[in-house]
Chain A
Amino acid sequence: MQTRKPKISKELKEKLLDLEKLKYCFECGICTASCPMMELAPSHYNPRILLETIVLDPEKALTKPDIWLCGWCYRCYERCPQKLKPPEILLLVKTHAVEEGILEGFNEAAKIMGETVALAESCYYVCFHPERTKMRQEDFENVLKKLIKNRNKTKRQKIKPQGEKIAIIGSGPAGLTAAYELAKKGYHVTVFEAYPEIGGMLRYGIPEKRLPRKAVDDDVEYIKGFGVEFKTNTALGKDITFDQLKDEGYKAIFIAVGALKSRKIGCEGEELEGAVCALDFLRDVKSKKTVTIGEKVAVIGGGNVAVDAARTALHGGAKEVTILYRRTREEMPANPWEVKEAEEEGIKLEFLVAPSRILGKDGKVAGLELVRMELGEPDETGRRTPKPVKDSNFTREFDMIILAVGEAVDTSFLPKEIELSDINTIWADPITMETTKEGVFAGGDAVTGPASVMEGIVAGKRAADSIDRYVKGG
């Protein structure tokens, strides 16, 4: 097919090079080494080389599938010595490709996604974000359809589980990916899930607006097609024990239980009606329970969960939603792009404030007592620690408070031999994913603390390879 020679205007090129500091990339390779997409599809994706292509031959970059393969996890940006933001640089290029009507790279990328990621359909929505290019809805859907069709072609006949037995605990992205990879390798895989439905945060966390149920359903169906068994409503530690698993002949266990415990802020008034934890709130909304949403909502926290909770509250009918964060925009852990979208929808952000008390009236939330913060000396994470400004307390009226001050890992069900990390997550060897208990592996949010779908997927893949080596080796 003869395509028109794509062009990149001088302005766009300058914008790419200057604005995004592309010129300063000194090719250290840190982005590539930290990139989950690179680990999943090394023959297709290398952000460092891709960025260089954009510098040397931007026109060529327009047609490459690579530009569509970034999973928006920002791991590269968090480490890049020059603070480049590859996902946003690539967005500029993609947007231009769409404007020029160049979609062959995108089509090709969809094929690669389907081949490399078990959760391709979910990832299409929450990782690859083609919609951010402002492409036509039609194109967005067409390519998605092709992705699904392509993938189903490769789907095998439903096979009977056979081979050595492996137990996976938790059916989030990490668990599902490990299950899929191991099943493909011929293992008899059983996934134990505490909740009634499969999918982890894909199912219970990420709002419907950003990730439709159908996508998750499709992905799960696809994985089931490889003979993976699922046991829902079965929580490890409650409905089934480690010893039981061992007795039942499971050769290895992969723990991917995520980080589902909402942290509390420990201030007065958390028990009031109208004060909720973000994860509970999001889960209830997604489970289609009736949820009362206030008119003036405050969301406390600065991460992605805070942003999602705020947007869900707004879509659910809140009149005014404000995110209150105790540091500044610079330090916000939420992905910059997510924040930008939230602001565009009308969500307000306030920085350097922290709640000191939730105010109540007749057992219901009536407002917040807040205190102004200022940034002090950098702590050991290099971020400057916020500290309260003396006598700066003030109050604000709210009728709903959503707490999104972080999620922790529930480790209460673990046997003692499984040691924890210094941030109270499960410790696993970063290369082999093995915990301190032999034959027990762990990955995903349960190990890293709250991260991203892409990182969960990579953890699952890494664990599957390692479990395979372990079972074969011993």
Chain B
Amino acid sequence: MSNPQVVEVKQSSLQKEEPRIGVYVCHCGLNIAGSVDCENVAKFAATLPNVVISRDNRYTCSDQGQDLIKKDIKEHKLNRVVVASCSPRLHEPTFRRACEEAGLNKYLFEMANIREQCSWVHLYDKQDATEKAKDLVKAAVAKVALLEPATESEVPIIPKALVIGGGVAGIQAALDLADTGYQVYLVEKEPSIGGKMAQIDKTFPTMDCSICILAPKMSDAGRHPNITLLTNSEVQDVKGYIGNFKVKVLKKPRYVTKDCSACGDCSKVCPVIMPNEFDVGLAVRHGIYTPFAQAVPSTYVIGMEHCLNKDGVLKCDKCIKACERKAIDFDMKPETVELEVGTIIVATGADVYDPTSLRNYGYTKFPNVITSLEFERLINAGGPSGGKLLRPSDMKIPETVAFVQCVGSRSDRGHLYCSNICCMNTIKDALLIKEHWPDTKIYVFYVDIRAFGKGFEDLYKRARKEGVIFIRGLPSDIYEERKTHNLWLVGENTLQNDVYKVNVGMVILSVGIEPRRDSDVIQKLLVLSRTNDGFFMEAHPKLRPVDTPTGGVFLAGCAEGPKDIKDSVTQASAAAARAGILMAKGKVTVEAITPKVLPENCKVCGLCTKVCPYNAVVLNKDLKHVEVIEAACAGCGTCGAECPFGALYMRHFTDDQIIAQIDALTEHDADKKIIAFCCNWCAYAGADFAGVSRMQYPTNVRIIRTMCSGRVAPKFVERAFVRGAAAVLVAGCHIGDCHYINANVQTQKRVERLWKKMERLGLNKERLQLLWASAAEGERVASKVREMQSIVQSVTKEEIEKSKKMTEKV
């Protein structure tokens, strides 16, 4: 660890020093070298101002690569380092650490992204890709020369966690954290914790009883001194930042107090009867009820809507009279609980697909066509039929049963992804039927059987051995026989090229898993991203699989994607560990990218205070300038872009640095280029994703990264045009998804103002484009660049000359 004081001394001496820059061009095996001539790029870098040493090597991130940088820093007295390799979103921390280890302040390091945003997206155009790489290196060198050392401030972390969602994942995460010694709030929307796992009968691949293994965990969570259970509750508001979140939770009234002993006397007298949600409507419950026998908390709950008459007046009080412990309180009111936590784990799980819209399968039309979730309740001893697989039409046990796979999954009519659990679930279900009623004839109609996990193939073999018939080919239609309510499945056996017509007593649609229908609520509250599939997106699919892009927020279970119990629990423990690590540190360093106020420039106009999403810039009338509240500032740079007098100095993304990048990128052939400003979280990440997915697009785009699109000051755009750029792209997160609450609204306003100005000046406003693209929308970024080619081509010499005067007239 470097001694901060030493760094301070070095820093002050550095400021006067001439920059001595080292450039390292990485081949990344053939990942970069395959389409970029790295040697050539390194040679070119050596010719750039202030560059003392320039090298290319196979893997810069390897130990040898890092050692080389450290050695050079010492031997060649480097005071600035540029690595041209992959995305800074991946390896910036690695190289920053290497610099620090060699005694160089980590803020004196810069990366050029020549892999995700160059070699991978221009696989077949080595010449132009190499030219682009040179440009990117040139811009990085220009920026690094202007970088300044900085020390990071630290903020304390509240050692408490919030877990949203009390399914198996949420329970596991809460228990792990509570056992470590942290205070945990577990918020569950339903009256009981347990989630989907409480509803299912047995679990694959071990075939053990689901509720038997879950119930002890549920009561552990209910009893744990470090866990506060908030059931029947929903998160309403989240403010703050990593380590210091302020959360509002709405606790809906149960109308039954803690005095309830779960004797059930009230239920017996309640006249209201309605479908029981827990049994997916296959059984009924009373108005006052407990969702299921093992519910935690076991306290009864009243669904008040049914106790009132049309005018909202209570029409019945039988339960109050029946309760000896006087635990029923109709006057309970919804209550808002305010929590302060340091970390948040999202474990909101998933919904199951509703196959009603697939008319050819007759779900809801034919009583004996059911879903796999309904099957779980029917086969469960605690379920509505006491564990007997009774078909709904006549309450008889069917002699033949068919499972239909991939219903709503891998399909353009439902969800495009594979739901991951339904193959194994069907195999489990088939075996359960065989176990109870061995003579049942069972068909499974499938496209692929995906039995990839530990113990899965064994279970699949067992099902085959037991005589389950697997037929490749999905039914095109399911018809009902009117008298018997038996079902015909008509399809093609695609291995035999033969059409089958199979008659069965019951059909089970193996429905997929889908994102919670209300995912957008949590998404907005916590500024998360979602993948195209709709599940919450992880910070990095391989290396940070349970982190989210929002600091201090983690994911567990099906909320992140379809998965089985084992994976949900594994992920929950991982999320708990990640949150625990943060809280164990006790404090978090804040990146030194917050603005510094230059009091002499500030005219106290207050413009910046209006745009800051966090209200972190405030007017101080006495001091006659604005002040920045460090702890509240998130570093988006929106204020800096707004200030007309340059009074807010955005550390690490200063005006000078960004302008130096623009100038470097427009030094030659500007009239053929697109200068793109991309926000770190969405658009830049989206461009990275395009690279990872090898989406190809034209080479003439040059991306400059800012933390937020709100940092893009109009003068940057103008600068690019004045320097002769053919087109400019400003790209950020979708409105509503901004990682700085709503800073991108300012982006939109500024771009709209620029468009007006361009129109006024007789410039083609098409040359300035605005794009909203999420981190998952690589294709949006790629196609935008493709689409902009026609604009670039249509820009004339005269038009370019005209725009060079863009700043003069105003």
Contacts and interface: CB of A to CB of B under 8 A. Distances in A.
Interface of A: 21, 24, 26-34, 38-39, 42, 46, 48-49, 78-79, 81-83, 378, 380-382, 419, 422, 427, 429-431, 436
Given A28-B473, A33-B499, A83 B413 contact: yes
A427 B365 CA distance: 14
Nearest to A52: B494
10 closest pairs, A vs B, by CB? A382-B357, A29-B492, A81-B411, A29-B473, A430-B479, A33-B476, A34-B476, A29-B494, A32-B492, A28-B474
Interface string B481-494: 11000001011111
A432 B359 CA distance: 21
B400 to A, nearest CB: 15
A57 to B, nearest CB: 17
Nearest to B481: A429
Interface string B637-662: 00000000000000000000000000
B493 A29 contact: yes
Interface of B: 356-360, 364-365, 406, 410-414, 447-448, 472-477, 479, 481-482, 488, 490-494, 497, 499-501
5 contacts: A29-B474, A81-B414, A81-B474, A430-B488, A431-B488
Contacts of A381: 357, 359
Nearest to B411: A81
B365 to A, nearest CB: 7
Given A26-B447, A42-B499, A33 B412 contact: no
Contacts of A38: 499
Given A33-B476, A34-B476, A27 B482 contact: no
A83 B493 CA distance: 20
A247 B564 CA distance: 66
Given A28-B406, A30-B473, 18 more contacts: A26-B447, A28-B494, A32-B492, A33-B476, A46-B497, A78-B360, A79-B476, A81-B406, A81-B411, A81-B412, A380-B357, A380-B364, A381-B359, A419-B482, A422-B365, A429-B479, A430-B479, A430-B488
B166 to A, nearest CB: 29
Q: Which of B357, B447, B474, B492 has the most CB of A within 10 A?
A: B492
Contacts of B494: 27-29, 32, 48
A226 B448 CA distance: 48
A30 B477 CA distance: 8
A32 B493 CA distance: 10
Contacts of B359: 381-382
B447 A380 contact: no
Contacts of A378: 357
B473 A33 contact: yes
A49 B497 contact: yes
A33 B497 contact: no
Q: Which of A39, A79, A83 has the most CB of B within 10 A?
A: A79
Contacts of B365: 422
B482 A380 contact: no
Contacts of B413: 81, 83
A42 B473 CA distance: 17
Contacts of B500: 33
A81 B447 CA distance: 11
Nearest to A83: B412
Nearest to A24: B412
A253 to B, nearest CB: 18
Given A81-B413, A429-B482, A28 B360 contact: no
B490 A33 contact: yes
A79 B360 contact: yes
A72 to B, nearest CB: 17
Q: Which of B365, B412, B472 has the most CB of A within 10 A?
A: B412
A90 to B, nearest CB: 18
A30 B476 contact: yes
Contact of A48 (B357, B411, B492): B492
Contacts of B411: 81-82
A182 to B, nearest CB: 22
Contacts of B406: 28, 81
Nearest to A31: B476
A48 B447 CA distance: 13
A456 to B, nearest CB: 17
A356 to B, nearest CB: 29
Nearest to B356: A380
Contacts of B479: 429-431
A281 to B, nearest CB: 30
Nearest to A383: B357
Contacts of A78: 360
A79 B407 CA distance: 12
A349 B477 CA distance: 32
Contacts of A26: 410, 447-448
A42 B493 CA distance: 13
Contacts of B490: 33-34
A183 B755 CA distance: 76
B476 A382 contact: no
Given A33-B477, A81-B413, A83-B412, A382 B482 contact: no
